[in-house]
């Protein structure tokens, strides 16, 4: 399947070693990629879901989450790139990429890992996975939810499932779109200059490099 930058297709796939098929949304341009998550501030449905919901995924009229189980199998087929697109206040509009990206299995806590990272050559955002000090970085960290919290309680205090370090990161794309909330409890991401801005839209994708 091939198409333009705005062309998508809902289809079923069965990644290598996966126990079943998964229904996914594919972007058809640039060799194809699988949508992991889509969120927009016009839809205030939050991502404060259970472990089981994050594991299996969900789709609503205004947001989508692929599911950790499918993401694990897709990312472990071959080398994969994870693409984050964000737009929001100030100069926040652009993309950031993580290469050799993988999600571990459930026994590992769906640990997130990557080897390289780089921004878009002409339309860049910042590196939110490594914003602020190393204790807030999420490379090598386990996923946590309110019903399976991390040791620091960030999934509970932040109100969203995410990968957490020993300190709670401000750059959590699953927090609420809430301009009345404190800065630590709303969706934020750094722009290309490292300035933290409010996010109005985000989409993440994974591309397997065959």
Q: What percent of the chain has pLDDT over 90?
A: 74
Q: What percent of the chain has pLDDT over 70?
A: 91
pLDDT value, residue 2: 56
pLDDT value, residue 3: 47
Which of the following CATH numbers is that of domain 8-208: 3.40.50.620, 3.40.1280.10, 3.90.215.10, 3.40.190.10? 3.90.215.10
5-15 average pLDDT score: 78
pLDDT value, residue 62: 82
Q: Give the model's confidence band at 27: pLDDT under 50 very low, under 70 low, under 90 confident, else very high.
A: confident
136-140 average pLDDT score: 97
Apex CA 180: angle with CA 182 and CA 196, to 5°?
Answer: 55
DSSP-assigned letters across all residues of 85-117: EEEESTT-EEEEEEES-EE--GGGTS-EE-SEE
| Domain-wise residue ranges, the chain | 8-208
Q: Is the pLDDT of residue 194 over 90?
A: yes
Residues whose CB falls within 8 Å of the CB of residue 171, separated by 6 or more in sequence, listed in order: 128, 129, 131, 136, 188, 189, 190, 196
pLDDT value, residue 174: 94
95-123 average pLDDT score: 96
Q: Is the pLDDT of residue 30 over 70?
A: no
Least confident residue range of 5-14, 129-138, 166-175: 5-14
- Strands (DSSP E) along the chain, which ranges? 8-13, 22-27, 33-40, 58-59, 64-65, 80-88, 93-99, 102-103, 112-113, 116-119, 143-144, 162-163, 188-190, 196-208
How high is the mean pLDDT of the chain?
A: 91
Condensed to tens digits (0 to 9), the pLDDT of residues 68-100 reads 999 999 999 999 999 999 999 999 999 999 999
Q: Is the pLDDT of residue 104 over 80?
A: yes
HSE (side-chain half, CA atoms, 13 Å) at 131? 23
Condensed to tens digits (0 to 9), the pLDDT of residues 149-167 reads 999 999 999 899 999 989 9
In angstroms, the Cα distances linking 50 to 161, 174, 207 are 8, 13, 26
């Amino acid at each position: 399947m091939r198409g333009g930058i705005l062309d998508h297709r809902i289809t079923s796939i069965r990644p290598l070693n996966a126990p079943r098929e998964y229904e996914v949304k594919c972007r058809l341009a640039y060799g194809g990629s699988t949508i992991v998550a889509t969120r927009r501030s016009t839809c205030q449905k939050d991502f404060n879901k259970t472990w089981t919901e994050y594991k299996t995924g969900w789709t609503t009229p205004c947001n989508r989450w692929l599911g950790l189980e499918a993401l694990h199998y897709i990312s472990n087929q071959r080398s994969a790139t994870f693409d984050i697109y964000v737009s929001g206040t100030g100069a926040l509009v652009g993309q950031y990429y993580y290469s050799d990206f993988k999600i571990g299995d459930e026994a590992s806590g769906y640990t997130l890992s990557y080897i390289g990272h780089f921004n878009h050559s002409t339309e860049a955002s910042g590196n939110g996975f490594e914003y602020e000090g190393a204790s807030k970085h999420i490379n090598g960290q386990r996923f946590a939810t309110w019903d399976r919290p991390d040791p620091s309680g960030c999934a509970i205090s932040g109100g969203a499932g995410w990968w957490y370090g020993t300190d709670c990161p401000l750059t959590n794309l699953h927090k609420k779109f809430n301009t009345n909330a404190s800065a630590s409890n709303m969706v934020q991401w750094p722009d290309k200059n490292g300035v933290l801005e409010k996010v109005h839209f985000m989409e993440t994708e994974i591309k397997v490099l065959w």
